[in-house]
Each structure stands twice: as C-alpha cells, then as structure tokens.
Chain A
C-alpha cells in the first residue's frame, strides 16, 4: 500500500512558493561559494606573483565574507532546503534519496573537505606561506565545485532522466541529457556571482584608494567574461528539454515565459555592462552599482530556478512522479478505490465544513491540488475556476490532463471529483445555500465517469495534440 503523508496548509502562500523561496536563496549562496573559491585562487595567484599589490588584502577580506555568509547561511539553507522539500513533497525527496543516496553521500564528503580546507585557510592563512595558502584555496575551490557537480546531476535528472528510465542505472540518471549544459551554465553563474560580490567587497574596504579598487574590480571583471557563453548554453539546455516543457517556457505558460524573460533580461543587462563597461572600457563601479548588479543577478537566479522547477510540470520527477506526489502507475488504481480511501488524516478544521460532501472535497483538494494551488490565495482554484459553471468544472477536472497539459490526470473516483467541485463552489461562496447538500446526483456521477473514461489515466499527450493542430 502506498504511504500517505499529512499535508500542511500554508494559507494564501502555495507550498511550491515556500520551496522556491528557500531554494533560490540557497542556490544563490551556494553558487556564490563555488565561484568564490575560483576567484580567490585567482587573486591569491595575483598576490603570489606580485601582479597586484592589493590582492592579498582582498583575499583576506573576501574570505571573511565567504565564511560569514556561505558557511553559515549557505550551509543552513542547504539543510533548510532538505527540510522544506520534506514539508512540501516528501514523496519527491524520498524518491531522490532512494535513487541517489550514495551520490549525495559522495557530495557530503566534499562538504567536509570544503569546511576543513575553508576554515584552515580562514584561521591560519595569515601565518602560512603563499604556496600552502594557495593549496588550501585550490582544495576549497575544487571541493565546492565538486559539490555543484554532484547536485547538478541529481537536480537535472528530475527534468531529463534520459536513459535512466530504461536502465535505472544511477550513472545513466546522473549523466542525463541536461547534465552538461546545466553544469556549465551553473559554473558560469557561480563565477558571475563571485565577481559581482568581489566588486561589492572591494568597495567596502576603506583602506584602499580608488586606483587600487579600480585595479581589483577590473581583475574581478575578468571572471564575468564567460558570460558570453550563456546564450549558447541556454539554447543547448532548451534543446535537451522535453518538448512540452520547452513549450511552457517559450510561451505555453505566460508565468514561466515571464520568469524566463526576467532571467534572460537580467543576465543580458549584467553581461552587457560587464563586457562592454567593466572589461572593454575598464570602468570603475561603486558599491551602489555593484550591489545593483548583484541584485539583478539574484533576480536572474530566481527567474532561472523558477523556470527549472516549473518546467517539470506536470511532474516533479519526469515520468516517475507527478507534482502532487501521485505516480503515473497509481492513477488507474486511485480511480477505482479513490484518493482519500487510504488517507488516515482527518481535517484540521472539520466543523467549519457544511456537510460530508464538502469535507470529502477538502480532502481531495488536499491530496491532489494543494501542493501547487491554494483555495483562495496564490494560484487559487476558486479564481482559476471562477468563470466555469459546475458542469464545466466537472468536465475540465475529469479531463484535467487534456484541459491543461501541464496538469496531471485526475486520480480519484467520480464521487470524489464531484465532491471537489462542491468544495470549490462552497469555498468561493461559503454563505450561499447549497442546492443538493451532501447529495450526488446519479446522472451527474455517470457523466463524470464517462468523461474520466474518455480522458484515460495517462498524462496528456503533448506531441499528439501538436500534430493534430
């Protein structure tokens, strides 16, 4: 028997947004740490070779920031992302852990190395010779990049599992079609974030005059040059995406297209300023401009991560698990037995519902809809269905995967579907009199059953529908 987990209600915030919030902050900080390691190696080399007299001072100041931000916030938001993932979709994180736990354990060994090498440098660099300091920094940089290398394989697997679907071989899943473009892209993002943070840090060092700051900023700007590869890598990533996911981000879903445009627009603004201003004309940027660029980079990260998460719809793991934690092979069974029959959890505010039909609808909503929708907050079902009459709702829910191809098929009985319709109706206007309180009209149920049969239990066939058009 499949296990059902209790579901928490986040009020007007859809749970996916909670996950996105934690994930974006963590990805931003973690990528800053990865790029920071490479950047520090470069500046340590500048210091060792006498190419920049202020590089040594910069390394010391920058590493303090890295420790205070990345080692604290980065590490704990990393734990936070795990705990949040459990809150939002335990089945998804459980499946990822089941399939990739040894890769995650491997990543953990690199975390350990990151901490030891990083703290060794932080604590002792002032008394170490240049060679030892450089070695520690290189180990730190390599360890942090290796953690990116590993987590990138697990995350990209969620969208493009590739040959893993046939072989279930862990390395087929890891080196999936999205692995390389995603890895190169994230590496460049990491360098970009580190370089922009370097511009902020340089401006915060009161002992440096403007000439020294300009020199350090111009050198850090070199780390922004790889941004010229971003458009090509982005196109590569789009090319390996499943066709339906690609269509969402390229216009099929306005929200996702908007976020993609935010990511592209922000990246282009940073890239153009960096290449034409900071690298070609060797412009000096003050702390306000540097902070603004860093905020733009945060916006780009947020947009990119939103698109990465959203483009997996209707799945949280492509072909393995729908966003609502129901597996494709479970749908047919849940159509027979119902999605609430094995749910042992009652409703938290049971007495506020007018009758058992609405209560059942609330449980159906909780099981199938609540991970991506709220009742009346963000992405609210009452708003999305506001213009539909009851029959339209019944039809659209019964054929959900055809109504909206980024939605999973309805996985419940006709009675449950009708109760969901009544729950949404009641939620839209709790004061209204319910015409058939608690009753299910046999004719209505028969019609729903027929629609469910027509819809089938398979996900929406995007390619077939495109051919038809």
Chain B
C-alpha cells in the first residue's frame, strides 16, 4: 500500500473498510464514555473520604452514573455495525481469532451482561445505602468487566494479525505475542477513553447548567480538563512505546505513505484537544468555545487513531486475497434499502429527540 489510505485500495475494499471504520469510531466514542466513566466512578467511590460527600457535590459522578446504562446500550447497539462489517472485511482472520480464543472470547458476553446490570445498580439509589465494601465491589466489578472487554478485543485484534502462528496457538493455547504489546495497546485505549468521556460528559454538564441556570451551580471544569489531558498524555506515551516495540513491518506501515498522514491527523487532533482543555482549565468553568474546540480535537484524534489501528492490521494481512471477496460482496444488493432506512431512521431519531424536548406536559 503506497497511496494514502484508503485511496490505494480497490474500491470495494476501500468502501467496506471506510464503512467499518466510521461505525467503529462511533462505537468507540460510546464505549469510551462507559469505560472511563466506570473507572472514574470507581475512583470517587473508593477514594478515602469521598464516600461521605453528597451526590449533589459530585456532579460528574452523578451524571456518569445516571447515563452509563444508556451509553452502554448505545455502545453495544453501535457495536453491531462494525461487528457486521469486520466480517466482510476480514472474515477469515476475524473468525479464526474468535475460534482460537474460544471461551476466553465467549466469556465477553456474560461479563458484559453482568456489567450492564451492575451499571443499573450503580445508577440506583439502593446501592448507595449499602456498606462501603459492597459499593466498592460493585463499581470495581463494572470497571473490571469493561477493561476485560477491551482486553478481549485487543487480543482478538493482535491474534487475527498473526496467521503464521494460528496452528501453534490452536494446539498449545499459548498466545503468540508479548503481554507488553497487549498492555500498551490497552493503555492507549484507556487513556484515550478519558479524553472522549470528558468531552461527552462536559457537554452533558454544560447542558444541565445551561437549561437550569438558576438552580445549579456552575461545574468546576478543572477535574474534567485534568482527566482529559492526563488521558491524552497516557494514550500518546503508550502509543509511542507500542510503535517502538512493534516489528519492522508494523513500523514501516505506520510511518509509510498510506498511514503517516493519519498520525499527523491524530497529533493535530490531540493538540486541538489540549488547546480546548487548556482554555477550560484557565476559565475553571465549562465554556462553549473550549468544549467545541476539545470536541473537534477528539473527533479528529479518534478518527486518526482508528485508521492507524487498521493500518497496523492491514500491514499483517494479505489484502489482495481479500479484495476478491470484497468485490463479490459489493455485487450483493440491498445497499439502496440501507441508505433509505438510514435516512428515515435518522429523521425518526430526530423526531424522538424533538418529542422529548417539546412534548413535556404543561
């Protein structure tokens, strides 16, 4: 691949990869909120002394607890689309990685079911009447479940890229990569999730204040800015370390003509986020300008990182063989129906939002 991604690829491959990446990025945004949100709620729950602070004085934690079940639902629903398109794009390698991981992979479903119910418990008032120890177990359990989910996907991704090792993995069950690679990739994901969560939660808190200006004190934006900046720093440090320890083929792809531009995009996105959160830090309150800047940066960064992640996979997989399958898939009908359905459903979703805003009882 010598041209800028995805222009160097046959159009069906480029098309399915792009659709996959767009839906994947959307799923990631929701998942980031839940992951970083549950980790933050765990922190404020276990931090000595914080357990007695009234909820009204923890607006961020209260907002996260209130919204995480819905955002997890959104993440799972949004995740169906990339799960569909990854089967078109990388069918054989994705399926084989699933099969080789077997129960380690299938454990993901019951773990997520448990995590989902834990989020509802965290949202309920009942939990906060229970002893400290139980509260900690519940919030830590939810966080651990989401970290485990990320671990499963990371391992699946890495294993899918190592076709030469599959027969050995099948027989021995031993994974063919270092735990350092897994840890660094997960740190990129966890760090980045704090940046994304801060943006979404920032807008929620801003909206809450904007619509209840008289009743609610403005939220101190510094903890949110601190989390976003810290998360960004962690993600970038881990990302650089991952690239440094990666094999030559991966490095060549990442710094090659196809992908390098997206590193630049991701860096620009990160800089824009730093500017946005820096503005919030200075003002101490959530401001529209800062939030718009940070949001723009987050969208740009997330898009860039998703493409870089895919570039690493593409470097390890024979795309020539896959492109024949993609061409065949592209001849299947139904795309027009999907476009019509997507437009109609988007309008209906807009109507739902309007109904909630306009349909309040007098």
Q: How far is the CB of B245 from chain A (nearest CB, A)?
A: 28
**Contacts A101-B85, A348-B170 given; does A169 touch B361 at CB 8 Å:** no
Q: Does A277 contact B (CB under 8 A)?
A: no
Whether the pair A108, B109 counts as a contact (CB closer than 8 A) is no
Q: How far is the CA of A345 from the CA of B78 in the complex (A)?
A: 35
Binding site for A on B (CB under 8 A): 70, 73-74, 76-81, 83-85, 87-88, 91-92, 95-96, 98-100, 102, 105-106, 108-109, 112-113, 116-117, 120, 166-167, 170-171, 325, 328-329, 332-335, 337-338, 341-342, 345, 348-349, 351-353, 355-356, 358-362
Q: Does A184 contact B (CB under 8 A)?
A: no
Whether the pair A99, B332 counts as a contact (CB closer than 8 A) is yes
| CB within 8 Å of B: which A330-380 residues | 344-348, 350
Q: Does A112 contact B (CB under 8 A)?
A: yes
Q: How far is the CA of A100 from the CA of B337 in the complex (A)?
A: 12
**Contacts A83-B106, A109-B342 given; does A128 touch B95 at CB 8 Å:** no
Q: Does A391 contact B (CB under 8 A)?
A: no
Q: How far is the CA of A108 from the CA of B329 in the complex (A)?
A: 18
Whether the pair B170, A98 counts as a contact (CB closer than 8 A) is no
Flag A77-107 by CB within 8 Å of B: 1 or 0 each: 1111011101100100110011111111110
Whether the pair A132, B99 counts as a contact (CB closer than 8 A) is no
Which residues of chain B are within 8 angstroms of A120 by Cβ–Cβ distance? 352-353, 355-356
Checking B77, B102, B120 against A115 with a beta-carbon cut-off of 8 angstroms, the contacting residue is B77
Whether the pair A101, B355 counts as a contact (CB closer than 8 A) is no
**Contacts A6-B100, A346-B167 given; does A108 touch B113 at CB 8 Å:** no
**Contacts A83-B105, A94-B95 given; does A109 touch B341 at CB 8 Å:** yes
**Contacts A111-B80, A139-B351, A350-B171 given; does A98 touch B328 at CB 8 Å:** yes
Which residues of chain A are within 8 angstroms of B338 by Cβ–Cβ distance? 102-103, 105-106, 109
Flag A8-48 by CB within 8 Å of B: 1 or 0 each: 10000000000000000000000000000000000000000
Whether the pair A112, B166 counts as a contact (CB closer than 8 A) is no
**Contacts A76-B112, A97-B84 given; does A129 touch B345 at CB 8 Å:** no
Q: How far is the CA of A98 from the CA of B351 in the complex (A)?
A: 33
Q: How far is the CA of A347 from the CA of B171 in the complex (A)?
A: 6
Whether the pair B349, A116 counts as a contact (CB closer than 8 A) is yes
Which residues of chain B are within 8 angstroms of A104 by Cβ–Cβ distance? 84
Q: Does A73 contact B (CB under 8 A)?
A: yes
Given A79-B83, A102-B333, A135-B359, 20 more A-B residue pairs with CB atoms under 8 Å apart are A5-B96, A7-B99, A8-B99, A79-B109, A80-B106, A83-B98, A87-B102, A101-B88, A102-B335, A104-B84, A106-B341, A109-B345, A111-B77, A117-B348, A117-B349, A128-B355, A129-B361, A132-B355, A345-B170, A346-B171
Whether the pair B349, A112 counts as a contact (CB closer than 8 A) is yes
- Considering only CB atoms, which chain A residue lies closest to B168 in the complex? A346
Q: How far is the CB of A373 from chain B (nearest CB, A)?
A: 19
Whether the pair B337, A106 counts as a contact (CB closer than 8 A) is yes
Binding site for B on A (CB under 8 A): 3, 5-8, 68, 71-73, 75-80, 82-84, 86-87, 90, 93-94, 97-106, 108-113, 115-117, 119-120, 123-124, 127-129, 131-133, 135-136, 139, 143, 169-171, 344-348, 350
Q: How far is the CB of A85 from chain B (nearest CB, A)?
A: 10
Which residues of chain B are within 8 angstroms of A128 by Cβ–Cβ distance? 355-356, 359-361
Whether the pair A119, B341 counts as a contact (CB closer than 8 A) is no
Q: How far is the CB of A123 from chain B (nearest CB, A)?
A: 8
Checking B73, B85, B332, B355 against A71 with a beta-carbon cut-off of 8 angstroms, the contacting residue is B73
Which secondary structure characterizes the binding site on chain B?
helix
A-B contact pairs, 12 of them (CB 8 A): A6-B170, A72-B113, A97-B88, A98-B91, A102-B338, A103-B334, A105-B84, A112-B77, A115-B77, A135-B351, A348-B170, A350-B171
Whether the pair B98, A87 counts as a contact (CB closer than 8 A) is yes
- Considering only CB atoms, which chain B residue lies closest to A98 in the complex? B329
Q: How far is the CA of A86 from the CA of B156 in the complex (A)?
A: 14
Which residues of chain A are within 8 angstroms of B109 by Cβ–Cβ distance? 76-77, 79-80, 83
- Considering only CB atoms, which chain B residue lies closest to A105 in the complex? B338
Whether the pair B353, A75 counts as a contact (CB closer than 8 A) is no
**Contacts A102-B337, A109-B338, A170-B332 given; does A76 touch B348 at CB 8 Å:** no
Which residues of chain B are within 8 angstroms of A99 by Cβ–Cβ distance? 332
Checking A6, A110, A136 against B99 with a beta-carbon cut-off of 8 angstroms, the contacting residue is A6
Q: How far is the CB of A126 from chain B (nearest CB, A)?
A: 9
Top 10 A-B residue pairs of the complex, sorted by shortest distance between their CB atoms: A132-B359, A102-B334, A170-B333, A80-B109, A90-B95, A109-B345, A106-B341, A132-B355, A72-B116, A97-B87
Q: How far is the CA of A347 from the CA of B108 in the complex (A)?
A: 26
Which residues of chain B are within 8 angstroms of A123 by Cβ–Cβ distance? 70, 356
Q: How far is the CA of A8 from the CA of B100 in the complex (A)?
A: 8
Q: How far is the CB of A453 from chain B (nearest CB, A)?
A: 33
Whether the pair A129, B359 counts as a contact (CB closer than 8 A) is yes
Which residues of chain B are within 8 angstroms of A94 by Cβ–Cβ distance? 87, 91, 95
Checking B83, B99, B351, B356 against A87 with a beta-carbon cut-off of 8 angstroms, the contacting residue is B99
Which residues of chain A are within 8 angstroms of B116 by Cβ–Cβ distance? 72, 76
Q: How far is the CA of A79 from the CA of B107 in the complex (A)?
A: 12
- Considering only CB atoms, which chain A residue lies closest to B359 in the complex? A132
Q: How far is the CA of A6 from the CA of B93 in the complex (A)?
A: 11
Which residues of chain B are within 8 angstroms of A93 by Cβ–Cβ distance? 87
Q: How far is the CB of B170 from chain A (nearest CB, A)?
A: 5
- Considering only CB atoms, which chain B residue lies closest to A96 in the complex? B87
Whether the pair B361, A119 counts as a contact (CB closer than 8 A) is no
Checking B100, B106, B342, B352 against A117 with a beta-carbon cut-off of 8 angstroms, the contacting residue is B352
